[in-house]
Amino acid sequence: MQSGEDERITTPWEDVGLSRSEYHRVCEDLDRRPNPLELGLYGLMWSEHCSYKSSRRHLEQLPTEAPYVLQGPGENAGVIDLGEGLALAFRIESHNHPSAIEPVQGAATGVGGILRDIFTVGARPIALLDSLRFGDPGDPRTRYLFEGVVSGISFYGNCVGVPTVGGEIYFDEAYRENPLVNVMCLGLAPKDRLVRGRASGAGNPVFIVGARTGRDGIHGASLLASREFDEETESMRPAVQVGDPFREKLLIEACMQLTGSDAVVGVNDLGAAGLTSAASETASRAGMGMEIDVTRVPLREEGMTPYEVMLSESQERMLVIAHRGREGEVEDIFDRWELEAARIGEVTSDGQLRILEDGTEVASIPALSLTEGAPAYDRPMRSPAPDPGFHAGEIPEPQDLNRVLLQMLSHPNLCSRREVYEQYDHMVGINTAMNPGADAAVLRVRGSGQGIAVAVDGNGMLCHLDPRRGAMNVVAESYRNLSAVGARPLAVTNCLNFASPEKPEVMYRFAEVVAGMGEACQALGTPVTGGNVSFYNETGGREIYPTPVIGMVGLLEDVSRCVPPGFAADGDAVLLLGGGTGSLGGSQYLNIVAGKVAGPVPTVDFAAERVAGKACRVGIARGWIRSAHDVSDGGLAVALAEAACLSPSQLGAKIELQAGERADEILFGEGGPRYLVSAAPESLEALLERSRELGCPLDVIGEVGGSFLRVATGQRRIDIPVADLVEAREGGLQ
């Protein structure tokens, strides 16, 4: 190309989010220049959001296989075998940028999208969870975003009839301009009814089903979700989709009926990149092509161009590939549910994605060029300046431990989330066996005595201080949360939230997080079945913390054996399972009380994690353990306070801990495979004996009873009425 030609075409490729070199690669793939429609399709599919071009090579190192993994990365959702003919589908996705611009619809459509990922594979959605990050809760903008996001999640989930059963919320100035809204969904399917997102069989008809197509969401994936925020962000509200949960409910029922038949070959959600993504991905996965006539797509707005139809991210739409000759069955099912079902094309054998307008070809691209042919980069990496760390002697030990514990319990990062989860219908479907507020959510499997446990966890502060160790701690935290309710951890999905991949320090942290996560999942036997990467979470050069969020699922053979985190009965023994003490490095205590974000981040002993987790699960399964709560954010003192507050009768306890050099480190240190458990006196000897056999430390530290929490470590004391603990904990978000 001549230099003059380069200058003349600069604006078109930038308008769709491509770089100059990527434009030249498009020309090479096509052996010609793309027309504006083709360029728009490449802009979508080669965007960071859709192509994972900066992350793919790092993600390949994650462990993804196990005998029970039925479907791993690359499909709409990961799927594992639960036995008894049942499969569990699950995935987590981000909707960060849309939620920063329009929090209600951004969060609502995030819920809608993750639901479709689940029922696309033939699974009925049974539960939602969310992982949220915001700025300073005292800031008006944070409150606006927080209330809007919670409203959007509750609105969509409640209306569609899928319970929101758990999650996490954290606040830090690092997320002021860029909130994180990660949503996870689980679904159940008969193992023999799973559907893949593949367009097999030349001549098979292709349908678009669900809602009509409008102009909302155009360039949502290529520009809104794949760029840093700037002063133009507010002008991008039209790129945020608009959701309709009532139509989604109809779509769920229609798709469940459809996938329960044998009329369907493949199904794919029309989420990010809309029809372009669904058509090119289903075709390329099967090594096929597809022909689509945009004039057959039902529209809700007049005068839409092929460019707008192909790039629209209107919600509640699916692509269905049916067996030839079964078209009438597809149409009848969706007509019964009062949804659109339009035949818009067919599968072809030549590998080309052809777009027609009233029979005339307006675009032709190799499907593999849009998907697997997208660029993959080894971005430059540079280690950030090391965390200077801290010495405990730098901060004075507090004199009033009562005041410190109440201060921590009332902090937005540690207080009760009741104000949030009471807005969610967590009981719809009547399968919820463990309500929000526990270490993990537990769901009954109908027709079986089994239970499914699920937790979402993240810790951006630890990953900022030490990305590799931080990621290991996040995986270990999820592992403990499942073990604390009695579930055997099985598999992981992840959502990796980072700033711009074009910054070497960001890519270094990303690579370290993935490496740490992979090592932890390998060591703990929890393969990764899929996930999501969200880059460009920054505004005006201000980056979020590197924030990997882990969604982990596990299985209880007997759901009736799951235990709550709150003390169960007066007179029960209180025990610390796992032993050891925590560290103040990277702790909530250091952040809240001393105003420091500093390391060192706790190391993770995977062998000790496995032993302690098994000991906890065995104690629960045998009925010896009556309550269990992992020792995490806030350390042992906060875990004890939470166990008292969450007790049905708000029971206190009298605790004796060994003295140490610093009482605050013993009480508020974090890290290590530690579980706070309680047991009836008659079960104590059996529990201690089994723990010794497993090689797991287990120490009796006190007894449940009374209306005060009394904790002694040497000469230092905590002595607070449980009612005061409850008051502090319940008021933190108000």
Which residues does the annotation mark as catalytic? 49, 95
For residue 345, which of 306, 315, 316 has the smallest C-alpha distance? 306
Enter the DSSP assignment of 32: S
Give the chain's radius of gyration (CA, Å).
26
What does the block give as tokens for 107? 């969060």
Look up residue 54 and give its amino acid. Answer: S
Give the rounded distance of the alpha carbon of 447 from its chain centre.
28
Please name the residues in contact with 71: beta carbons below 8 A apart, sequence gap of 6 or more: 77, 78, 79, 89, 121, 194, 196, 529
| Alpha carbon of residue 422 to chain centroid | 20
645 φ/ψ angles, rounded to the nearest 5 degrees: -65, -35
Rounded CA-CA distance 395/363 in Å is 66
- Bridge-partner residues for 170, per DSSP? 133
CA distances from 181 to 75, 97, 106, 229, 385 (A): 22, 9, 9, 16, 29
SS3 727: helix
Count CA atoms within 13 Å of residue 726 on its CB side.
Answer: 15
* Number of Cβ atoms within 10 Å of the Cβ of 202: 14
Return the SS3 of 411. Answer: coil
Task: List, in order, residues 6 or more apart from 123 with CB less than 8 Å away.
Answer: 77, 79, 87, 88, 89, 187, 188, 189, 194
Tokens of 686: 């059996």
DSSP annotation string for 669-707: -B-SS-EEEEE-GGGHHHHHHHHHHHT--EEEEEEE-SS
Smallest CA-to-CA distance from 341 within 218, 217, 258 is with 258
Q: Greatest CA separation found in the chain?
A: 87
